[in-house]
Amino acid sequence: MSEGARRRTRMTQDERRRQLVGIGLRMLVERPIQDLSVDEVATEAGISRGLLFHYFPTKTAFHDAVVSAAGRRVVRNTAPDEGLEPKEALAQFVSRYYEQIDRRRESYLALVFGGGAVSLDGGRVEDLRVAMAERVAAILVTDGDAWPVVHGWIAYVEARALRWSAEPREARDGIREETAHCVRALEALLSVR
């Protein structure tokens, strides 16, 4: 169907907001958040630019909603399966975190290190890392003393996964080796606190 022939679909406000954020998420895979055009999003949704601003008062508010949704997606996609033993769940989390970063490296970089129109000022990045650290703490059923260790370890795993995903595939260690290394690193850190 041509863009001119596209029909507007009546949606509730929540449905339309979800649709617009979904379009933004798809576009975020191809470009950094600051390059996300609200005009393109509105066109794809079959609405006017002005109507998009009915749902999101500013371009920054729209970008913020997309960034928040992207962070939630990372947390959801890295969740280990229910019922695993703690060490197995931790390994699965690390493996899925690596896979998430590898699959969407540019989007992930834009999400955690992006700038431009969205001033993340570290808040969204920190929210993402806190959510990941809370997940690991829940897996390990650790006491509160472990929080700084687990939180720092999350940043370590992220940095390691980003470096790993930047290497040519043939030059990389396997994901099993990387996962085992990260799990051992956390075990070592927790044993010395």
Other C-beta atoms within 10 Å of 180: how many? 15
Q: Does residue 172 have a pLDDT over 90? A: yes
Contacts of 147 (CB under 8 A, 6+ apart): 133, 137
Axis-axis angle for helices 86-103, 59-77 (nearest 10):
140
| pLDDT (average), residues 98-105 | 91
Give residue for tokens 């001033």: 119
2-6, 18-22, 105-109, 137-141: which has the highest mean pLDDT?
18-22
Q: What is the pTM of this model?
A: 0.78
Q: What percent of the chain has pLDDT over 90?
A: 55
Report whether 33 contacts 118 (CB < 8 A): yes
9 pLDDT higher than 50 = yes
Least Cα distance to 178 among 95, 97, 118 occurs for 95
Mean pLDDT value of segment 110-131: 62
Provide the total of helices (H) and of strands (E) in the chain, helices listed first. Answer: 9, 0
Q: Convert the pLDDT of each residue in 175-187 to its tens digit.
A: 999 999 999 999 9
Cα 105 from Cα 117, distance rounded (Å)? 20
Q: How would you class 164 by CB atoms within 10 Å of its CB: exposed for 0-12, middle for 13-18, buried for 19 or more?
A: middle
